[in-house]
Structure 1
Amino acid sequence: MPRQGGLREAPGPVIAVVGPTGTGKSDLAVELALALDGEVVNTDSMQFYRGMDIGTAKLTVEERRGVPHHLLDILDVRDEASVSAFQSAARAAIEDIHSRGRWAILAGGSGLYVRAATDVLEFPGTDPAVRARLEAEAERDGLGPLARRLSDIDPESAARLKDARRIIRALEVHEVTGRPFSAYMPRRQYVQPTLQIGLDMDRSVLHGRLAERVDRMVGAGLLEEVRRLEAEGLREGRTASRALGYAQFLTVLDGDAAVEEAAEATIVATRQFARRQVTWFRADPRVRWLDALRPDLLHAALAILGGQVPEAPSVS
């Protein structure tokens, strides 16, 4: 039924395809979009970057099969990704898709970005001057005094945050807003009807797939891609320069590692990242899990959407 102003109601819930890297989230999102008359919204923070194609396993135009994709290639490698800016852009994209009576399908394994798009999540303001002062304190006195200060004002955040960047951010938030950083933790409450479909598989199989994928990336020219992006400012990007594969292959350009060593380091780092993703998404009881290798994957995903409960996969 049309809304006031001529906008059509969303045909169904927002669909978010989540889970660890290497499980085929992008492919399933395209299949769902084709089956449902939908469009895909990217929630992989590294696929925001123009030119970071091989190392992020970004679908080619041909692989997108005519399905519109939103929030791909929206940043230069020098730009820092912002969850709050993404939240605004993602929700605008979803509203635009729904206004045309189509399904919005999120695809990507960046957990915080998925929650920014789907959940009640408030982002506190920033103050560059306050942050610069705190960074100078950390440089001068070390992290210890800042960590102790955070423990006094926000013990919950202090117990969770161990790296300098996040401790400084927590102190900045308290100073700017007067509220503890922990008060801004997301709640498991959707802003609109949403269905999360999680893909996973046997861990040993996933590890093998990730190793094979890195080998394919190297064969497809990952080193050349990193070399080109370095000339465009990759090292200056606080987010892009830390991306899996890119950080490791920058050491090849520096002469500190051979291609084979960088590839192995990328495989190890990718497996570790996949483990963290599993931990993140498995902690959310709202995710409906499917074995990514089941031959009827699209049918099973559509069955979940229809309120049916496919047999749960056994993964380890």
Structure 2
Amino acid sequence: MRFGLVGTGYWARETHGPGIQASGNELVGVWGRDAAKRAELAEALGVEAFSSHDALLEAVDAVSYAVPPDVQAPLALDAARAGRHLLLDKPVALDSGTARELCDAARDSGSRSVVFFTARYTPEMRSWLDELAEAEGWHGSWTEWIASNQRPESPYKDSPWRQREGALWDIGPHLLGTLIPALGPVSSVAAVAGRGDTVHLSLTHESGAVSTATIALWGPESAYTWGMRVWGDTGISPAPTPTTSAVTALATAADELAAAVSNDTEHPLGLDFGVQVVELLAEAATQLGRRRTQ
């Protein structure tokens, strides 16, 4: 399948572009709003630099988006209406209405979609989730994800949208993308704000399980931690430490999107799931008093 790449930043350069090229698909070209950056990235990847998003859409079957969610959503809506297949980054949008509009447009045009919850495309995470499903009897989970994006070496330290939206919208999708398959759909969410962008979440699952999580994107470096544990009748099961590269995970996502197109099926991590995640995050944002006005 012929892919176009939208975005010229770190994630596009280091993950999306190389990931598509490592897959069984063809990367045709790139587009971004900054002409110099798109030319530089196109040269690095050995592909064409397109002059507009519309021109890119005319040349490809699918588009991979590596841009902030509020930039991604309107562009992906145009792509969906044009019948292009979508490899979206998480979250798919920053409000429920826009997410549902994008999902409806994709459904109407027959556009297939995959949302890139990075860990969900790694063999270690898939094996762990399979083990949880086989054991059953899980009652809840604890998650403590404290990142420190302000570190000088962090590629995200100057990301405006992450500075603006914080942990809820950047880490939150990864959290839900893992906990929903681990413990089942979420029936309710309760959110409490902590210091800075810290958010404390309590999620009640339809299974009766309750998970709790503390997430922060701009926490102190000395407090950095990244752990999730599920507990139940058979004991405690910690989530695996990631070993698969983001590039390999992206290649898997691209190949699975191509397979969904070929088989004319919906991917389990497509827009339907992406909308569920946005709706839960939007509810949490409302409780935190951070409701968006779009």
Structure 1-normalised TM-score? 0.29
Answer with 1 or 2: which has the greater Rg: 1
Structure with higher helix content: 1
